[in-house]
Structures are given as structure tokens and as C-alpha cells.
Amino acid sequence: MLGRRQIREKIVESLYSYYQNPIRFEVVEKNLFSEINKIYNLYIYTLNFMVGLKSLTEDQIEIGKNKYIKTTENENPNQKLVRNQILIQLEDNEERRSFSSRHKDLLWDSNDPILVKTFQRIKAGKRYQDYMEDGEISFADDQKFIGKLFLRYVAENSDLHDRFEEKEMSWADDLHISNSMIQKTIGFMKENEPSHTLIKMLKDDEDEEFARKLLRSSLNNWEESEKKLQERLVNWELDRISLLDRIVLIAAITELDNFPLTASRIIINEYIDISKVYGTEKSNIFINGVLDKYTKDTNRV
């Protein structure tokens, strides 16, 4: 689920896109929610990768069973991974299955090179070997193992990230959001309580309205916000500020002006963090100084 921080990030991205290519406000808003929905596709695509690892394991077990000359391992395969309770819950999740059936491009083939390569890396790792050799079976151990496996072999998988970017360019910026959602999905699972729903992109109508209002207000009051920004610059011209820093400041000033129930320090801190993602090394210091001055000038608490 997108928190307010991530919604603000998407607003900044939308404003940057608008500045580069001005279009009708209605289209900007439509594109904003389209980009938010794409994050859900990435979320499902990555969950399907986890399920694909289970399917690949099952395929290899079947291949071993059908060999003409079998080893002891072929005849009595270790099925601990395919019986992992977290992977089973992910595989059985009705929402994932339903969404994937309507978006078959988000499914993974068992022969996909990235899936196979990742599986081989997992099998070669000590954590996997220790897990498979441990005769104890518990939901907590299964959950911990899949959480660690995800972080090591999926969240940090550069080959997988390249595939994501090839499939959808915007996913490169959204990967950290999707990864956070998957970690929460794994962490929220309970023993003997099958998960039938996944994390939604927006929590409720209030978050959706927040996104619409912040985007519309930023666009409608762009010139006014630039004037307010210029008035807070000391020995510095507006056009000397990098475009991204300017957009972050415009979004922040807009929110300070139009969302009085949110404390100014919360808003400032949020946009400082956003500037660390999109700006330069010193952007956060500059943005903090400008917004701090603005709140003092306007008595914004």
C-alpha cells in the first residue's frame, strides 16, 4: 500500500512530467493513477516470481522421479521448499491468481533464464542448504526463510531488475515500493489463516482524494507558488534552482497551504526525504532551509 510519502513521490514525478510536457490537467491526473496501478502490476509480477521458484522446484522433482537411472535423492526428494507454508499461501492466494489470470504477461515460465539462474544461486547458498537439512518444520521458520530469501535473491537481483525495467520503464523508480509491499505481505501471513487478499495500492478514498487534491492544487497554483518561493530566496534566482528541487518545493508549499491539519514539520520532513531520492547531494539542506523560512513567515504550525 502506498503511504502518504509514496503518494507525494508520485505527485512529484507527475509534476516533473507535466513541466517537461504540458498537457491537460485531466490527463495528468489520469496518468498519475495509471502509474500508481502499475506498481500493483510490479507487486504481482514479483510475487509470481516467488511462486515460480516453487513451481520450478516441483518440476525438477518430477524430472528426477522420471529418470531412468535414479539416485536416492531422485527417489526420495527433499520437498521442504515446495511444502513451505508461505509459498503455499502465495500460490493459493485468490487475488493473485485472479489478477494473474487477467494479466498473463505477469506470469513466469519455469524455463525462464532469470528464474532458473536465481534458483541455482539459491540452491548453492548456505542458508538454503541449512534450511533444507533442518528436520524441524514450523511456520515461523518457513516465514523467516522466505523473508530472507526474498531480500537476498529477489530484492537485490540485478538481472531481475533489468527485466523489470525492460518490461516497464517506470518500475525502476517503483521497485522500493513494491519490495516493501512484498515484505509486508510475507510478514502479515498467519499460520492456518490462508491469505485471500493482498495489499491495496491506496488504503481508502481519503488517500485517493489526498492525491487528487495535492496534484490539482499544485498545478492550479503553480505560478503563485513560484512567487512565494522566489520571495524566500536570498541572493538566488528562481531559474538557478534545479528543476527537481523547484518541483519538490512547489509541491511542499502547496501542501503547506492546502492541508492545514497536517503539521508543518511532518510535511517538511517528508519533502526533505523525497529530495534525497530525486535531488542532488545538497538538495535536502536547501529545501529544509527554504521551507523552514516559509513556515516561519506564514506562521504555519
* CATH number, residue 225: 1.10.940.10
Cβ partners under 8 Å of residue 168, min gap 6: 38, 41, 42
d(CA 34, CA 112) in angstroms, rounded, equals 28
Cross-strand pairs, 190: 193
d(CA 31, CA 24) in angstroms, rounded, equals 11
pLDDT the model gives residue 70: 64
Are both 106 and 234 inside the same structural domain? no
- Tens digit of each residue's pLDDT (9 = 90 or more) over 210-232: 999 999 999 999 999 999 999 98
Are both 151 and 237 inside the same structural domain? no
Q: Which residue range(s) make up the domain with 141?
A: 4-188
b/e burial code for range 142-180 (CB count within 10 A of at least 16 → b): bbebbeebbeebbbebeebeebbeeeeeebebbbebbbb
Are both 126 and 274 inside the same structural domain? no
Are both 244 and 170 inside the same structural domain? no
Are both 265 and 163 inside the same structural domain? no
pLDDT less than 70: residues of the chain: 68, 70, 72, 74
Are both 129 and 247 inside the same structural domain? no
Q: How many C-beta atoms surround the C-beta of residue 262 within 10 A?
A: 14
Q: Which amino acid is at 136?
A: E
d(CA 57, CA 80) in angstroms, rounded, equals 10
pLDDT the model gives residue 72: 67
Cβ partners under 8 Å of residue 130, min gap 6: none
**Where does a domain end: 141, 168, 188?**
188
Angle between the N-to-C axes of helices 113-124 and 126-133, in degrees from 0 to 180, rounded to the nearest 10: 70
pLDDT the model gives residue 77: 80
